[in-house]
Chain A
Amino acid sequence: MSDEQSFTLDGRRIPFQNGQTVMQAALEAGVYIPHLCFNPEFTPHGSCRVCLVKVNNRMQAACTTPAADGQTVQSETEELREIRRGILQMLFVEGNHVCPACEKSGACQLQAVAYYTGMLAPHFKHFYPRRPVDASHPEAVIDFNRCILCELCVRASRDVDGKNIFAVEGRGIQAHLVVNTPSGQLGATGFSLHDKAAQVCPTGSILTKHRGYDIPIGQRLYDRKPINVVGDVAQLPDRQGGRRHD
């Protein structure tokens, strides 16, 4: 019977249904695998690589690997934690993440996943890209310095909002988020805070204007409990410091 299918994740039995990925099945079973570009409401993307696990001894992204009966999956090993830390450190040096000056500090998934994996410092040499902030919209600001190219806003705006406001352009290290208007300004689009695209960013790239520091530092989302207990910003309501507007 298909509902009997299962794999093991760090020794624990995880049941799954046909068509589910390792990530989806783990999430449903309440087991946390670190992730950034994955959001259960969207088709998997597989780009951040933070969700790397070993499936039958092969490195795979948990969010894109189909679950299969009898698979052995490893996640919380020192080897994988080290690789994940390395990948997170790459994200931190690629952009400009000045956490103490960031409105989302403490309620940022990137930061929370970094804590979770034991990342203490960015380690690599900073790239210091020059990316201007877009404050042209009356309600929202985009700070491209904090974008990690997870394309969640791209997917949300295209697939849910039907507005297709965001896109990633450029190749390799030149890849960057753009706003789809001739001027490239968010103010020239029909973007609204009620858009799904306004509720999915795992970092502090897309921010609400005229609101800042409502919840004091020290009492924010991930300040007291780690992300594996609290969950993703996109799944938590605004009033708890998450991003979801119900």
Chain B
Amino acid sequence: MVESSMLTETIRDIVQHHSGMPTRLLQILRDVQDRLTWLSPETLERVAEELSISPNKVRSVAEFYSFLYTTPRGRYDILFSDNITDRMLGNRELLHYLCGRLKVSIGETRSDGLVTIGTTSCTGMCDQGPAALVNGYTLTRLNPSRLDGIANLIESRIPLAEWPRELFEVYSNLRRADILLGRHFADGSALRAVLKRGPEAIMEEMVKSGLRGQGGAGFGSAAKWISCRNAPGNVKYVVCNADEGEPGTFKDRVLMQDFADLVFEGMTLCGRVIGAQHGFVYLRGEYRYMLNPLKATLQRRREAGLLGEAILGDISFNFDIEIHLGAGAYVCGEESALIESLEGKHGVPRIRPPFPTTHGYLNKPTVVNNVETFAAAAKIAVEGGDWFASRGTAQSKGTKLLSVSGDCERPGIYEYPFGITVNRVLEDCGAHDAQGIQMAGPAGHMISAKQFDRRICFEDLATGGSFMVFDQKRDILDGVRNFAHFFVHESCGFCTPCRVGTSLMRDLMDKVHTGHGTRYDLEEMRKLGRIMQAGCHCGLGQTAPNPVLDSLDQFPEAYERRLRSTAYEPAFDLNAALEEARQLTGRSDPGAYLNEEDLLVGAMP
């Protein structure tokens, strides 16, 4: 236990390091937790005191993000990535294996305080899973022998910094490059272009390019920049959305890892065009391993005169970039929740309108764009709008990075012109036996083989980039159930249909998946799905029922197989009765469940 005066000093140091700014609360809590392993009530009180803000503000942030802990955690905190692609690669067996080796149960901290093992949402390593995080740092390609090594390192209390580097190695797996990734980009060339030709000319190129937001929604990027440029006010912001929380997506990770200069250049260009001097990268907590290398890249750019004051020697061109690290909240990818999080708050989406282009960070005009959008903008500034628009389709210009994972021989990043067919992608990645694809992640759409001739573009199948392949030997419902659990875990809890609806949907899906469902339950799922789509406050809740609704339409046989023969609910369902008893008595021990499968369900977050 840290002594009270030492605790105060530790916290004071960290708060001062962040200039005592309440907007940096999330970053402060992350740093404090790094030192103390968890955030005790006393710690939170001290942080509030040091920042002179109300303790409940601090608590509400600490309670919101899944990587912040308000109960004690082990010195080594291991979270297994639990996306369906990790499951396909056997992560559950590995999770149980490591728990056995370290003699600790899932979600619990070992009595000596050494280690905690749990699960987390997709960590963006779908092409090199099963993956996990240890104290926030990514571990890839796990297998029993790697886990043996890890267990030994933990038991011998070896500091993380001394663990073998290869455990943390992240591959880029760049499989296909087109105009964005394929052509060399000279650092500073986009900034020279804007200085030489002026912001108006660059905006014209952006308009000509037809570039649309690559985060998934596809809003016209030129229109967004122009609206922000025209918004009244002298202080404006540029925000790069590198939250990449959609399960199955990892293209922004590769861009940030291998093409960070291009992304930073796009942000700086945007700053010049809209008249902003400050930019933020909101980097998802799962990509923490990149934080220091990215900071080094920013420093190198400052030294090269590409960032900071008087960029390229022009005293009117000032722009700098700060990186904020998320802490495990998919909803913070939604642009207004992201801004709340940047302001040091919990990530609840705002009421829109007003939109960020007029009322964004600290209520100032703000452009929020996806990583890939900024990268494309930098290229467009150099190569011109027509060059970009020569690829793609009528409504979807240019190219798209796809993150391909699941059942295929060559998972990784594929850059295609918009308009490519699903079949072509399957061919290229070596998926010979696909029965279905989860396009654009759980929030997107599930398609069956009948639709593999569809095209990837805004006119047909829109996507942020996630492409997860399920082959014939998979049970589609394993995926659907995994996604239903994902949305329960990620709902921010603000609005009724999402907060309650995601849990109801999960329970129905669990019931059907374990063979206890009837036709009536399928109707219930459809009805619930319609309410959520229509009623939720933000895109998370509105899309959360998609996997269920799509699979009901596309894979009816997967449900049929599992239905009880009767269309009616049995008069007495022992398991359901037990479930009520469990809820009332708060029991979750094995003796309270009929079989192991149900127990697993109960234990999941």
Q: Which A residues have a C-beta under 8 Å from some C-beta of B? A: 44, 46-50, 52, 59, 61, 64, 66, 83, 86-87, 90-91, 93-94, 124-128, 130, 148-149, 164, 167-175, 178, 180, 182
Residue of B nearest to A90 (CB): B500
Inter-chain CA distance A50–B499, complex, in Å, is: 14
A44 proximity list for chain B (CB < 8 A): 351
17 inter-chain pairs at a CB distance below 8 angstroms, sorted by A residue, are: A47-B495, A47-B537, A49-B536, A52-B534, A59-B534, A61-B537, A86-B535, A93-B504, A125-B504, A126-B583, A127-B583, A128-B580, A128-B583, A168-B493, A172-B488, A173-B493, A182-B45
B501 at the binding interface (Cβ < 8 Å) = yes
A124 proximity list for chain B (CB < 8 A): 504
B284 at the binding interface (Cβ < 8 Å) = no
Inter-chain CA distance A239–B206, complex, in Å, is: 64
B527 proximity list for chain A (CB < 8 A): 86
Known: A61-B537, A86-B531, A127-B583. A175 touches B493 (CB 8 A): yes
Known: A44-B351, A49-B535. A172 touches B492 (CB 8 A): yes
B492 proximity list for chain A (CB < 8 A): 171-172
Q: How many whole Å from A202's CB to the nearest CB in chain B?
A: 13
Q: Which of B59-67, B75-83, B134-142, B588-596 binds A? A: B59-67
Inter-chain CA distance A173–B488, complex, in Å, is: 7
Q: A171, B495: Cβ atoms under 8 Å?
A: no
How many residue pairs at the A-B interface have CB separations less than 8 Å?
A: 116
Q: B490, A172: Cβ atoms under 8 Å?
A: yes
Known: A168-B60, A175-B499. A83 touches B489 (CB 8 A): no
B503 at the binding interface (Cβ < 8 Å) = yes
B494 proximity list for chain A (CB < 8 A): 47, 175
Q: How many whole Å from A85's CB to the nearest CB in chain B?
A: 9
Q: How many whole Å from B306's CB to the nearest CB in chain A?
A: 39
Secondary structure of the B contact surface, majority rule: helix
Inter-chain CA distance A174–B490, complex, in Å, is: 11
Residues of chain B in range 4-57 having any CB-CB distance to chain A below 8 Å: 41, 45, 54-56
Q: B502, A173: Cβ atoms under 8 Å?
A: yes
B586 at the binding interface (Cβ < 8 Å) = yes
B197 proximity list for chain A (CB < 8 A): none
Residue of B nearest to A175 (CB): B493
Contact of A90 among B65, B497, B530 (CB under 8 A): B497
Inter-chain CA distance A175–B504, complex, in Å, is: 16
Known: A86-B531, A87-B497, A90-B497. A172 touches B56 (CB 8 A): no
Contact of B496 among A91, A126, A128, A167 (CB under 8 A): A91
Q: Which of B59, B351, B536 has the most CB of A within 10 A?
A: B351
B580 proximity list for chain A (CB < 8 A): 126, 128
Inter-chain CA distance A52–B496, complex, in Å, is: 12
B556 at the binding interface (Cβ < 8 Å) = no
B584 proximity list for chain A (CB < 8 A): 128
Contact of B64 among A86, A149, A164, A171 (CB under 8 A): A171
Known: A61-B537, A86-B531, A128-B580. A172 touches B502 (CB 8 A): yes
Contact of A66 among B353, B528, B537 (CB under 8 A): B353
Inter-chain CA distance A127–B64, complex, in Å, is: 21
B367 at the binding interface (Cβ < 8 Å) = no
Q: Which of B488, B497, B534, B536 has the most CB of A within 10 A?
A: B534
Q: How many whole Å from B561's CB to the nearest CB in chain A?
A: 24
B507 at the binding interface (Cβ < 8 Å) = yes
Q: A49, B495: Cβ atoms under 8 Å?
A: yes
B329 at the binding interface (Cβ < 8 Å) = yes
Residue of B nearest to A174 (CB): B493
Q: How many whole Å from B348's CB to the nearest CB in chain A?
A: 9
A125 proximity list for chain B (CB < 8 A): 504, 507
B491 at the binding interface (Cβ < 8 Å) = yes
Q: A87, B507: Cβ atoms under 8 Å?
A: no
Residue of A nearest to B62 (CB): A169
Q: B531, A87: Cβ atoms under 8 Å?
A: yes
Q: How many whole Å from A188's CB to the nearest CB in chain B?
A: 13
Residues of chain B in range 107-132 having any CB-CB distance to chain A below 8 Å: none
Residue of B nearest to A180 (CB): B56
Q: How many whole Å from A210's CB to the nearest CB in chain B?
A: 29
Residue of B nearest to A170 (CB): B63
Q: Which B residues have a C-beta under 8 Å from some C-beta of A? A: 41, 45, 54-56, 59-60, 63-66, 329, 346, 351, 353, 488-497, 499-504, 507, 527-528, 530-531, 534-537, 580, 583-584, 586
Q: A49, B497: Cβ atoms under 8 Å?
A: yes
Q: How many whole Å from B121's CB to the nearest CB in chain A?
A: 12
Q: Which of A59, A64, A148, A171 has the most CB of B within 10 A?
A: A171
Contact of A46 among B55, B56, B501, B537 (CB under 8 A): B537
Inter-chain CA distance A83–B533, complex, in Å, is: 10
Q: How many whole Å from B135's CB to the nearest CB in chain A?
A: 21
Q: How many whole Å from A162's CB to the nearest CB in chain B?
A: 12
A47 proximity list for chain B (CB < 8 A): 494-496, 537
Q: B491, A172: Cβ atoms under 8 Å?
A: yes
Q: Which of A64, A128, A175 has the most CB of B within 10 A?
A: A175
Inter-chain CA distance A175–B64, complex, in Å, is: 9
Inter-chain CA distance A220–B351, complex, in Å, is: 36
B507 proximity list for chain A (CB < 8 A): 125
Q: B351, A169: Cβ atoms under 8 Å?
A: no
Q: How many whole Å from B164's CB to the nearest CB in chain A?
A: 35
A86 proximity list for chain B (CB < 8 A): 497, 527-528, 531, 535
A149 proximity list for chain B (CB < 8 A): 493, 499
A182 proximity list for chain B (CB < 8 A): 41, 45, 55
Inter-chain CA distance A200–B534, complex, in Å, is: 28
Q: B491, A173: Cβ atoms under 8 Å?
A: yes
B66 proximity list for chain A (CB < 8 A): 171
Q: A164, B495: Cβ atoms under 8 Å?
A: no
Q: A173, B499: Cβ atoms under 8 Å?
A: yes
Q: A49, B537: Cβ atoms under 8 Å?
A: yes
Inter-chain CA distance A120–B490, complex, in Å, is: 31
Contact of B60 among A61, A94, A169 (CB under 8 A): A169
Q: B56, A52: Cβ atoms under 8 Å?
A: no
Contact of A83 among B55, B500, B535, B583 (CB under 8 A): B535
B504 proximity list for chain A (CB < 8 A): 90, 93, 124-125
A59 proximity list for chain B (CB < 8 A): 534-535
Q: How many whole Å from B575's CB to the nearest CB in chain A?
A: 12
Q: A164, B54: Cβ atoms under 8 Å?
A: yes
B535 proximity list for chain A (CB < 8 A): 49, 52, 59, 83, 86-87
Inter-chain CA distance A176–B115, complex, in Å, is: 29
Q: B493, A170: Cβ atoms under 8 Å?
A: yes
Residue of B nearest to A48 (CB): B496
Q: A171, B503: Cβ atoms under 8 Å?
A: no
Q: A94, B500: Cβ atoms under 8 Å?
A: yes
The 4 closest A-B pairs by CB, nearest first: A175-B493, A90-B500, A172-B491, A86-B531
Residue of A nearest to B501 (CB): A90
Q: B537, A90: Cβ atoms under 8 Å?
A: no
A180 proximity list for chain B (CB < 8 A): 54-56
Inter-chain CA distance A173–B498, complex, in Å, is: 9
Known: A49-B535, A167-B60. A93 touches B500 (CB 8 A): yes
A148 proximity list for chain B (CB < 8 A): 496
Q: How many whole Å from B184's CB to the nearest CB in chain A?
A: 44
Known: A83-B535, A87-B497. A130 touches B55 (CB 8 A): no
Known: A47-B495, A87-B531. A171 touches B63 (CB 8 A): yes
Q: A83, B54: Cβ atoms under 8 Å?
A: no
Q: Which of B488, B491, B499, B528 has the most CB of A within 10 A?
A: B499
A90 proximity list for chain B (CB < 8 A): 496-497, 500-501, 504
